[in-house]
Amino acid sequence: RIELRPGCLHVPGYLDREAQEALVADLRRIVEAAPFFTPRMPRTGRPFSVRMTNCGPLGWVSDAAGGYRYVATHPETGAPWPPMPALVLQAWRELAPAAAPAEACLVNHYLPQARMGLHRDEDEEDMTAPVVSLSLGDTAIFRIGGTGRRDPTFSIRLKSGDALVLGGQSRLAFHGVDRIVAGSSTLLAGWPPGGGRLNLTLRRVSRTE
């Protein structure tokens, strides 16, 4: 466990290969029930290069008309999000032991050409709970800075099986994915089509009493 900056904990190899394979099998079933969709920027409708789905009581979505928000149902099928698998619930208990139960697990799929620009996660009401990220498949060159857009940044490689816990002073830090290292993992050779990288972000959304 490596504290990269206050509140930003990197856990290389948190999931062993067997757990990674089991989680991919869980995700395959989740995506059968809740297919990947292409989120779009508020107002402009510009598509993200990352495709997304969710599991858990709430899911993060974005489109031109409604903007960024958490909703209980899939934007295209209208069905409730599938439940979080046991491995995801266990990761939240282990990595965010002081937080209320996770409500949203966003699943991001990066084909090798996909990126995620520098942004802050500020659509949640409860900013006291950390965000937990689990990486599967190809390595990501991940960038993180401070709470100001112009603060200095640094990059780290997030490999298959790594966890990242973003809490405290890092909860509102700018971050993004500069690029995916194509062919760096064999984990996603069978699924999803095109391979690449899957990232799960586990979040508490609502405040508790």
Q: Which residues form the interface with ligand MD3 (CB under 6 A)? A: 106, 108, 116, 121, 131, 133, 140, 144, 164, 166, 170-171, 173, 175, 177, 199, 201
For the bound state, the minimum distance from the C-beta of residue 207 to ligand MD3, rounded and expressed in Å, comes to 17
Q: Choose the contact partner of 103 out of ligand MD3, Fe ion, none; CB within 5 to 8 A by kind.
A: none
| Cβ proximity to Fe ion, 124 vs 138, nearer residue | 124
| Count of residues that interact with Fe ion, criterion CB under 5 A | 1
| Cβ proximity to ligand MD3, 95 vs 209, nearer residue | 95
Helical packing angle, 17-33 and 86-95, nearest 10°: 120
Give the other-Cβ count within 10 Å of 2's Cβ: 9
The answer for residues whose C-beta is within 8 angstroms of residue 156's C-beta and 6 or more apart is 4, 10, 141, 142, 144
Q: Choose the contact partner of 116 out of ligand MD3, Fe ion, none; CB within 5 to 8 A by kind.
A: ligand MD3
> Which segments of the chain does DSSP mark as H helices, in order?
17-33, 86-95
Whole-number Å distance between alpha carbons of 174 and 146: 6
For the bound state, the minimum distance from the C-beta of residue 106 to Fe ion, rounded and expressed in Å, comes to 9
Q: Do 71 and 58 contact (CB within 8 A), yes or no?
A: yes
Which of helix, strand or coil describes residue 75?
A: coil
Nearest alpha carbon to residue 186 among 136, 116, 131? 136
For the bound state, the minimum distance from the C-beta of residue 45 to ligand MD3, rounded and expressed in Å, comes to 19
Nearest alpha carbon to residue 192 among 83, 13, 16, 35? 35
Contact letters for Fe ion, residues 81-120 (x by CB under 5 A):
----------------------------------------
Q: Choose the contact partner of 144 out of Fe ion, ligand MD3, none; CB within 5 to 8 A by kind.
A: ligand MD3
Identified binder of Fe ion from the candidate list 103, 121, 138, 162, rule CB under 5 A: 121
For the bound state, the minimum distance from the C-beta of residue 175 to Fe ion, rounded and expressed in Å, comes to 6
For the bound state, the minimum distance from the C-beta of residue 29 to ligand MD3, rounded and expressed in Å, comes to 21
Whole-number Å distance between alpha carbons of 142 and 161: 15
Residues that bind Fe ion (CB under 5 A): 121
